[in-house]
Amino acid sequence: MKNSYKYTFIIFCAIADMIAMVLGTILFFEIANAEGIVWNTLYLNKMIVITLVSWLFAVIHFKLYAVDALFSLEGFYSKSWRALVTQLLLWYCCVFVLQDNLVFFLGSNANLIQMSFLMGYFLFSRILFTLLLEKIKKLVVNTNTVAIWGFNKTSIELASQLETNSYFTDFRGILNENASTNYATNEDFALALADGIYNASEQHINELYIVANPDFITDLNYFFGLGDKYCMCLRFIPDFSMISKNQFSSSHLNNFHVIKPRFEPLQNSYNRLIKRVFDVIFSSLVIIFVLSWLYPIVAIIIKKQSKGPVLFKQLRSGLNNEPFWCYKFRSMYVNMGDESQQAQKGDARITPIGKFLRCSSLDEMPQFFNVLIGNMSIVGPRPHMIKHTLDYNAQIDNFMVRHFVKPGITGLAQVSGLRGETKRISDMIRRVNKDIEYVQRWSLFTDIKICFMTVIVTLKGDVNAF
């Protein structure tokens, strides 16, 4: 019965939100048509489909209707607004690309009314959902009682999670939090655990999480049989809090429990495929529609101002620290000092056109060929010269983590104001920390967001670009 309430509520929320998104789209076009705006009929016939697809993308990305998110009200509110903003951005991008007249954005009331309607709906619906959730919680009889046995750092964190998501369970807490957890032998631990399982059955616990040092657990079958005897579901969770890093990630390989130093989404082959498809499509579009005419113009100016090749290529550290040739428009005079020296403000080696190319980041444009070849990505840690990689690796812990993914034309560090010359080790440490944050938090949405932020930073002008 508890699951029927839960999933009925989730389905109700999803349907209500979808109807609201469709009504917002219909309202938009009704007002726009009343103002005499002419639309591309191809787009007009597919407006509802585009609305639903963009909303579905936002919902899936933010996991809006996941049980743990939906019944954690603070997270549900936050994810709701993020999903709405994402859907509107995607929807308006389609409008910009496909509709016939962009002038309507300057004078039409359709945008304001649509956004006001959707924001009003989300505000009202979330208040209503909160009230409904409180009613549902009163109707539900928590027949599923859950508890934890084992008092340690891991069990405290687990208790916090279970308390947060205990809408349809009766969480009884940590049963032995006041008992001694120092066991001299495995036999002492086994006797204490057997006694704990018996006491849990006396308290009518249906599901017991046992959090313990794996060294003490010698015979799981015996304890599982004991749980079955008392009609109790046992869940064993190894306590690795004393031997692992704070930010470790765990997974399973068949029957083996695997612990990794961090969560790395791009170690998943499916995620790598998504990123590669995005890179190929993005780089191909830039090469066809931008570099096809920009390259000859820049090449002529570079040749006219100084002798030497149009492109500057340099060996840099790539994925898994493998070197590759990185391409750029040449922005310096040939044979003007040490190539491994970082560019500085007012650098005499920079040509007149080179100064413009570097300030506008146009010197990086040939790296879209690197992306298409496959030794770079659109978004990722910026590639360093081989010498700099060796130097910084000797001085900065975790420096090589940034090489677990392909280097990028732009990255999280660059849009966070950490671009340019690194005069101090602390400057590079901050950049490396941002690169590692990107490695741990990658998603396709993150890449798209960084691309948009790169355009904004470039248009505003980056003081560190020289």
Beta bridge partners of 329: 311
CB 361 within 8 A of CB 465: yes
170 φ, ψ to 5°?
-105, 95
Task: Please tell me the predicted confidence (pLDDT) of residue 316.
Answer: 94
Task: Please tell me the predicted confidence (pLDDT) of residue 428.
Answer: 86
54 φ, ψ to 5°?
-65, -35
- The CA distance from 369 to 266, in Å, is 22
Residues 414-447 pLDDT 10s: 888 877 666 678 888 889 999 999 999 999 889 9
CB 169 within 8 A of CB 143: no
Task: Please tell me the predicted confidence (pLDDT) of residue 336.
Answer: 60
DSSP result, 250-298: EEEETTEEEEESS--GGGSHHHHHHHHHHHHHHHHHHIIIIIHHHHHHH
Nearest to 383 by CA among 394, 370, 373: 370
- The CA distance from 254 to 268, in Å, is 16
Nearest to 83 by CA among 7, 166, 20, 9: 20
Residues 78-131 pLDDT 10s: 888 888 888 888 887 777 766 655 555 555 688 788 888 998 898 888 888 777
Task: Please tell me the predicted confidence (pLDDT) of residue 170.
Answer: 79
- CATH architecture observed for domain 145-243: 3-Layer(aba) Sandwich (3.40)
Find tokens 């945008």 and name the residue: 111
Each domain of the chain, given as residue ranges in start order, spans 2-139, 145-243, 269-460
Task: Please tell me the predicted confidence (pLDDT) of residue 383.
Answer: 92
Q: How many other C-beta atoms can be found within 10 angstroms of the C-beta atom of residue 316?
A: 20
Give the amino acid at 270.
Answer: Y
- What number of CA atoms fall less than 13 Å from residue 420's CA on the CB side? 17
Residues 265-308 pLDDT 10s: 888 888 888 899 999 999 999 999 999 999 999 999 998 988 88
- From residue 248, how far is each of 36, 141, 245, 261, 403 by CA, in Å? 58, 37, 5, 4, 19
Task: Please tell me the predicted confidence (pLDDT) of residue 239.
Answer: 79
CB 152 within 8 A of CB 181: yes
**277: its two tokens:** 């498809």
- From residue 131, how far is each of 2, 79, 170, 373 by CA, in Å? 18, 18, 20, 55
Task: Please tell me the predicted confidence (pLDDT) of residue 409.
Answer: 94
Task: Please tell me the predicted confidence (pLDDT) of residue 103.
Answer: 55
Question: For the whole model, what pTM was predicted?
Answer: 0.60
Geometric angle at alpha carbon 187, from 183 and 193, rounded to 5°: 70
Give the amino acid at 114.
Answer: Q
Task: Please tell me the predicted confidence (pLDDT) of residue 306.
Answer: 84
Going residue by residue through the chain (466 aa), what tens digit of pLDDT does each one get? Answer: 345 566 677 788 889 999 999 999 888 888 877 777 666 666 666 778 888 888 998 888 888 887 665 666 667 778 888 888 888 888 877 777 666 555 555 556 887 888 889 988 988 888 887 777 767 666 655 567 889 998 888 888 888 878 766 666 778 888 887 766 678 788 888 888 999 999 998 888 888 999 888 788 777 888 888 888 888 888 888 877 666 555 667 666 656 666 677 788 888 888 888 899 999 999 999 999 999 999 999 999 998 988 889 998 999 999 888 999 999 998 888 766 555 555 555 567 788 888 888 888 888 999 999 999 999 999 999 999 898 888 888 888 788 889 889 999 999 988 888 776 666 788 888 899 999 999 999 998 899 999 989 888 887 766 555 4
